[in-house]
Structure 1
Amino acid sequence: MQGKKDYQEKLFASFQLSERIPEENFYRRLKGALDLDFLYPLTKGYYGESGQKSIDPVVFFKLCLVGYLENIISDRKLIDHCSMRLDILYFIGYDIDEELPWHSTISRTRQLFPESVFEEVFTRVLALCVEKGMVSGHTQAIDSAPVKANASMDSLELKVPKEDLEAHLHNVRHISAMDKKKLQ
């Protein structure tokens, strides 16, 4: 006999994200590897003492990480994407019936912190991932294709101060030489 599935939404459901996300899922493993409590003292000085509570800085930076990992540059698309993925909801600490922050909250919070905070967070997250065995290696390889640039040479910005440039290039060449010796 042919079956027919009739969907009727339940008013109440017993559901736990932790039971639905496989142990080997990337975001579940990442949640276990990252202890981002260092963000509270790091970002405390950028908030006022009164007013409405802001988005949790741990949630904000986890959302930024998801955007990076999923290659999503629009805050609106990021929130839409996260709301549809159970593993990401579990990673950022939201339940299926919790409303995610507004995309504009993400944009405003991003403007709150200086570049140095993002650099420190990136460095610490990378170190935590290396420590937990999620990332390894010394050399990065990039596969690329030539693309004609549409930029003025006057707009280029040197990230290393001019007086430190020679020393920086020497260090980079030394590290590169060490990596080449390891491969031989």
Structure 2
Amino acid sequence: MRRDEGVQEDLIAVWSEIPRSPGHAFYDKLQKLLRDAGFDAFVEDLCKPYYAAKMGAPSLPPGRYFRMHMVGYFEGIDSERGITWRCADSFSLRDFLRLSSREKVPDHSWLSKTRAR
């Protein structure tokens, strides 16, 4: 019963220590193009009449909404559930959607509600 042979390693994986792939070249270039063109500010101004100033839970940002539909278009996904699943499954798509490591991918019902507006 020799217990002094070694020390148990940490059991917690820190987010910053998890290896990341370089990303998806297409979505990285598209992201740069959208940022350089001021896409988010443009669609926020365009969609402003359809959003309440303050009411209930925070809305899905228009830039994220349109980016999710771009993913669906470019990857041939025609259902909102499929788009949500695909975006939640990929770190590079989470980066494209401008989500932090702690934010969740918007649920398909958010996409449906926003589309209904």
TM-score between the two structures when normalised by the length of structure 1:
0.50
- Find out whether 1:40 has 2:44 as its counterpart: yes
For the pair shown, the structure with the greater C-alpha radius of gyration is: 1
Deviation, 1:48, is 1.6
Q: Secondary structure at the match of 1:100?
A: coil
Change (3 A) 1:9 1:27: farther
How many residues align structurally? 103
Q: Secondary structure at the match of 1:95?
A: coil
Change (3 A) 1:15 1:46: farther
Change (3 A) 1:74 1:49: same
For residue 12 of structure 1, what is the aligned residue in structure 2?
Answer: 14
Q: Give structure 2 stretches of 5+ with no counterpart.
A: 1-9
TM-score between the two structures when normalised by the length of structure 2:
0.76
For residue 112 of structure 2, what is the aligned residue in structure 1?
Answer: 107
Q: Distance in 2 between matches of 1:30 and 1:15?
A: 27
Q: Secondary structure at the match of 2:111?
A: helix
Q: Distance in 2 between matches of 1:57 and 1:15?
A: 32
For residue 76 of structure 2, what is the aligned residue in structure 1?
Answer: 71
Q: Distance in 1 between matches of 2:17 and 2:85?
A: 21
Contact 2:94 2:105 in 1 (8 A): no
Q: Secondary structure at the match of 2:106?
A: coil
For residue 21 of structure 1, what is the aligned residue in structure 2?
Answer: 22
Cα root mean square deviation, aligned = 2.4
**What is the percent sequence identity of the aligned residues?**
28
Q: Give structure 1 stretches of 5+ with no counterpart.
A: 1-7, 113-184
